[in-house]
Amino acid sequence: EVQLVESGGGLVQPGGSLRLSCEASGFTFSSYWMSWVRQAPEMGLEWVANIKQDGSEINYLDSVKGRFTISRDNSKKSLYLQMNSLRAEDTALYYCAITTMATGTFDYWGQGTLVTVSS
Amino acid sequence: DIQMTQSPSSVSASVGDRVTITCRASQGLSSWLAWFQQKPGKAPKLLIYGASSLQSGVPSRFSGSESGTYFTLTISSLQPEDFATYYCQQAKSFPWTFGQGTKVEIK
């Protein structure tokens, strides 16, 4: 069974940092692109970043470029999102998702981890 | 960035009704369009990819179509488990973007 379990969310002050993790199981993690997608409270979905199987290609949403860093460790079957210089508008539920670039889809999602940026 | 405009924002329907949701892209997508279903407190679930291909395991009452920059998700006979919010998403170019969502509510 495919499982994606996010962790690392919490309450942080504006300007602070957090590192999100996503632990994968039930599929060959090293064979898939992976993405982070966020959803602000009672709002829609917003793609944040994605990373190729070997980490050699990475794409970011402009508003997080230079502040967020996506990475992965295939030996640990884990995806990460280092978030620095956090802003109130980064407050959201952050999902990791298996991504198929051939179809441009998020095939399977975790349950998310909540990030709240507030003083 | 490609803008995705979804309509309606909400629809009230009864079990057995045919429901149609539309997404308009600000530029051509060459079928790089997916549809997702999200139930309250749950993660989104992929329904349709490539504008009209049904994801494995998704009931055949769901279908997708494309006409130029207009994309349609149709539920042919609404079932109780279909009450949810539906999102379109384009993957033609980065940043990948979503529509604002359509909430399907019980009439």
Judge whether residue B107 has pLDDT over 90. no
CA distance B76 to chain A (A): 23
| pLDDT of the residue at A114 | 98
Instruction: Return the percentage of chain A with pLDDT > 90, whole number.
Output: 97
| pLDDT of the residue at A16 | 98
Q: What are phi and psi of A31, to 5 degrees?
A: -95, -5
Residues 6+ apart with CB under 8 A from A36: A20, A22, A47, A48, A49, A50, A70, A79, A81, A94, A95, A96, A97
Name the amino acid, one letter, at B1: D
| pLDDT of the residue at A37 | 98
Q: Which residues of B touch A110 (CB under 8 A)?
A: 43
Identify the residue with better confidence: A42 or B97.
B97
pLDDT tens digits, A34-71:
999 999 988 899 999 999 999 999 999 999 999 999 99
Tokens of B85: 């919010």
* pLDDT mean over A72-86: 98
B77-105: burial string, b at 16+ Cβ within 10 Å, e else: ebeeebbbbbbbbbbbeebbbbbbbbebe
pLDDT tens digits, B1-60:
999 999 999 999 999 999 999 999 999 998 999 999 999 999 999 999 999 999 999 999
Q: Is A62 helix (H, G, I), strand (E, B) or coil?
A: helix
Instruction: Return the percentage of chain A with pLDDT > 70, whole number.
Output: 100
| pLDDT of the residue at B106 | 87
Q: Is B67 helix (H, G, I), strand (E, B) or coil?
A: strand
| pLDDT of the residue at A18 | 98
Instruction: For residue A30, give the nearest of A51, A44, A3, A9 by alpha carbon.
Output: A51
CA distance A102 to chain B (A): 10
Instruction: Report residue A97's pLDDT band, with 50, 70 and 90 as the boundaries.
Output: very high
* pLDDT mean over A21-39: 97
| pLDDT of the residue at A42 | 86
* pLDDT mean over A3-10: 98
Nearest to B100 among A44, A62, A110 (CB): A44
Q: Which residues of B touch A44 (CB under 8 A)?
A: 87, 98-101
pLDDT tens digits, B53-88:
999 999 999 999 999 999 999 999 999 999 999 999
A44:B99 CB<8 A: yes
